[in-house]
Structure 1
């Protein structure tokens, strides 16, 4: 079994005391991640703070920090150890109506997925990439594999 240790540190230094507003830290793996997390720690400076763990609508963890006093230093450090397990990227099934690309979601599922299907204004590089994608009729799995080439 292979384990990896990750460390992330962000440091802000202010030239005078400041009152920090509430801070939301999104540096914790989601509980539905397929990669097992062996250990996780979050260290925040200044140590005089209130911490509440929340979950967003997609079950991602968020640390909400409130600081009662002014500070000249704000630091967030995360340490975690993850177990690198073999994950088969093809460990899924497709509904019969989705085996060919392009396909349409059934109406109820389409409503649930709407936030993920909304299009945004992308930058020029991403737009160029999107325009390079082969959108001809093909097997859905082939379409997904070809996105990685």
Structure 2
């Protein structure tokens, strides 16, 4: 067991005072057998008129903040402490019938998994299908666990991680052709790849812990992070982080799961004003073991994430890097 702390600060700045619409916040981690939330503190400046909490269709914890008045800055400062039980080697207690691919999910599971198996992107030349076939044994069954682990490591080793601050994700064909992308792009590529095999996959947003001995191997720290889960009968939802080649939950803190990345935005909302009023957004995320004190205040800011300018009310959203 490891006790981890997360400090996540997001600040929106404006040229002149603006009014704020509702903001949707997904910062609170999901409680589970492998991560237990000890405390969570959210401070919003200016203080919202109202905060209401809800669970969305996926069971994620969501806060909706409503505001009154105007301000030149909007700041979200959250501090989380949780017990995290890392799994370096995932427990592949897969049902016998699913140990080798291909297999078919049971009839009782298919109604709930069907939307998570559907392809989300067009692949007219079957490039993703062709890429996936390289991980299959020709003419014979392929070990399911080995198939997914090999695909995870292949993305880490063959693709280049880059920062991109625009909203949304790349089409997986763009990621495949360019062999570069962000963590959310790699997650979407792997989801689309395993869905092409008839397996259920979902998007995960959260945080990445970068221990001192993993500084040279982990990328994506200092911001929100993204990976995917694949449903394996008997083992359940198993974590795969193709950005870092992580299989299992080691160093991964789950906040939200969703069928589509757009359903798992950490922070989104509106402001009322002109496009030029928006000076941008800064994000700083600090994840560490509790024995190390947190100190984000005064630290150098990360590269700003600029929200898209549209007609009033203005929309802005924080997406995972």
Q: TM-score range by the shorter chain?
A: 0.7 to 0.9
Per-residue deviation, 1:70: 2.4
Q: TM-score, normalised by structure 2?
A: 0.41
After superposition, the Cα gap between the structure-2 partners of 1:89 and 1:69, relative to the gap in structure 1 and judged at 3 Å, is farther
| Aligned-pair Cα RMSD in Å | 2.7
Mapping for residues 1-149 of structure 1, pairs under 5 Å: 2-32=2-32, 34-87=34-87, 89-121=89-121, 131-132=131-132, 134-136=135-137, 137-149=141-153
Which runs of 5 or more structure 1 residues have no equivalent in the other structure? none
Deviations 1:85-130 (A, max 9, x none): 23364335323321211211234422211221121228xxxx76x8
**Maintained 8 Å contact 1:31/1:60:** no
Per-residue deviation, 1:141: 2.0
Per-residue deviation, 1:59: 1.1
SS of 1:29 mapped into structure 2: coil
Per-residue deviation, 1:49: 2.4
Per-residue deviation, 1:71: 2.4
**Maintained 8 Å contact 1:31/1:59:** no
Question: Which structure would you say has the larger Rg?
Answer: 1
**Maintained 8 Å contact 2:25/2:64:** yes
SS of 1:68 mapped into structure 2: coil
| More relative contact order, 1 or 2 (CA 8 Å, 6+ apart) | 1
Distance 1:145 1:46 in 2: 46
SS of 2:109 mapped into structure 1: helix
SS of 2:68 mapped into structure 1: coil
54-63 vs 113-122, which moves further: 113-122
Distance 2:64 2:104 in 1: 38
Per-residue deviation, 1:18: 1.9
Per-residue deviation, 1:24: 0.4
Distance 2:33 2:27 in 1: 13
Q: TM-score, normalised by structure 1?
A: 0.81
Corresponding pairs, count: 146
Distance 1:33 1:77 in 2: 27
**Maintained 8 Å contact 1:102/1:135:** no
Distance 1:61 1:80 in 2: 14
Distance 1:17 1:86 in 2: 45
Which runs of 5 or more structure 2 residues have no equivalent in the other structure? 154-321
Distance 2:38 2:32 in 1: 14
Per-residue deviation, 1:135: 3.0
